[in-house]
Chain A
Amino acid sequence: MTVNNTIAHQRLILSGDRERFKELLRKRLIECGWRDQVRMLCRDVVKERENSDVSFDMLVNRVTPRARALVPDTVKKELLQKIKTHLLTQKDQ
């Protein structure tokens, strides 16, 4: 992370906009069914190992690559575009 990035990041937290973006992303992921899909992926992993313990790290390692690939392009684009517009309007203040 560069210094500029850090400042932009801090500003986002300070204004609460980071939470707002997070909430927006959360909503979109629920809306498009992503969360349910990921839930099913997790369930499959747990089922596979019926008799042994499942740890969080193992779940993350197994599910993350597939979960990332499932995020729709439209959601990524919308977030990217909105964050960009937002940072540009904040820049000269």
Chain B
Amino acid sequence: MLEIKCPYCGKRSQNEFSYGGDANIKRPELGKEVSDREWDDFVYFRKNPRGMHLELWHHVAGCRQWFKVSRDTSTHEIFKTSKINEEL
């Protein structure tokens, strides 16, 4: 079980959190014309890197804030966590 530092609450065990996927994904702007390919990239396609991964987590059983985590997908090492509006 990972130990994740919520930027608002501090270190907590993984079972308080839920995973929210790749933090690099940007939703296309509302109302903007996007090609099928761009839209599919946003909805379906994700990289599956071995190593450093920037991802979103949600402190569901805590402060209910979404935040960013940089984690090594092969060792589970967590390098840093930050609030959504902070650079990681």
Do A and B pair up? The answer is no
B residues apposed to A, CB below 8 Å: none
A residues apposed to B, CB below 8 Å: none
